[in-house]
Structure 1
Amino acid sequence: MQTPSVFRQPAAFAAALFAVLALGLAAGAAPTQASGTPRLAQAADREAASFTQCAGPARVTCVVDGDTFWYRGLKIRIADINAPELSHPSCALEARLAVAATQRLTDLLNAGPFTLESGVRETDRYGRALRVVLRSGRSLGTVLEAEGLAEHWQGRRGDWCAV
């Protein structure tokens, strides 16, 4: 038996698969997970602004460092990560990482709409709002972690200077 040509040509296979999926969605079929259960529709990301690095006392929409930013006058601490300290680094390595993390968070926030999700606690001991920042259901904190610019929040600051 000969393999159909659609399977020998990846572009043709992708186009055929897309067509089948589009027909199924148009007919009202709900997308399913691997388990076969319907996948819930994800809410659209609705928050967006133009972020710069914070400077001066007036802070409305700006990035403080790799895990803290102001959004529409609300100071937000990203709840799922810890990033190097920009204001009081413990060593030269932490200082370099903090600059990079701050710039990367600014870029990520400016890359398009996002969602702010509350966690177990609304605020931290400093009064900052604790939020997980999501884009298309993915935490921007995990992006920073994957790039080595943040660590998963463990309930305390890590040591960026340890060798």
Structure 2
Amino acid sequence: MPIVLAALAVGAVLGVELPAGWLPAIIKDLPTLPDLGTGQAVVVSGSALVVVDGDTLRYKGERLRLLDIDTPETSKPRCTAEASAGAAATAALRSLIAGQQVTIRYSGKTDRYSRPLVRVVTPDGDVGAALLRQGFALSYKPGAEAYAARAAHWCG
């Protein structure tokens, strides 16, 4: 199968057109992610999700960003306090979805890194709202001024 995919990719780059309806059966049977349009939802076990940080998850290899919240940075923290708070937010997100049935609701929007913006809901409620209530996240607002305010919040 990798050879078939590579050949198709090379052909696409070179502008080679395939006859209408031609597609190997193996390609047709590949699993696909759900349509990422507005209102689409998928229900999965919490164990199907990988927690990247306090506001980012990975599902089937795709990074998903929690909608409307921002947690402290873990990959490039601006101070040691933010690094510690980021680790705590990551642990909190892991705890909120562990052993739960999780609904991922796609908003139809993406962030500046092209990650789908999603709401994640468990039987206990919206995970982003729980992170806000527990003090692990702030409401996300765009712009340089809001970014500076978040940095000041986490780093003092």
CA deviation after TM superposition for structure 1 residue 118, in Å: 2.2
TM-score, reference length from structure 1: 0.60
The structure with more strand, counted as a fraction of residues: 2
Secondary structure of residue in 2 paired with 1:161: helix
Number of residue equivalences: 109
Q: Which runs of 5+ in 2 are unaligned?
A: 1-41
* Residue number among 33, 44, 47 corresponding to 1:47 in the alignment: 44
**Whole-Å Cα distance in 2 between the matches of residues 112 and 81 of structure 1?**
21
Mapped pair 1:139 → 2:136: no
Mapped pair 1:81 → 2:69: yes
Secondary structure of residue in 1 paired with 2:121: strand
User: Which portions of structure 1, spanning 4 or more consecutive aligned residues, are displaced by more than 4 angstroms?
Assistant: none
Distance 1:162 1:91, change over 3 A: closer
Could you tell me which residue of structure 2 aligns to residue 161 of structure 1? 154
Which structure has the greater CA radius of gyration? 1
- Residue identity in the other structure for 2:100: G
CA deviation after TM superposition for structure 1 residue 137, in Å: 7.4
Distance 1:81 1:111, change over 3 A: farther
CA deviation after TM superposition for structure 1 residue 49, in Å: 3.7
**Whole-Å Cα distance in 2 between the matches of residues 150 and 111 of structure 1?**
22
- Residue identity in the other structure for 1:161: W
Could you tell me which residue of structure 2 aligns to residue 151 of structure 1? 138
Please tell me the root mean square deviation across aligned C-alpha atoms, in Å: 2.0
- Residue identity in the other structure for 1:47: V
TM-score, reference length from structure 2: 0.62
Mapped pair 1:99 → 2:61: no
The structure with more helix, counted as a fraction of residues: 2
Q: Which runs of 5+ in 1 are unaligned?
A: 1-44, 52-60
Could you tell me which residue of structure 2 aligns to residue 114 of structure 1? 102
| Matched-pair identity in % | 33
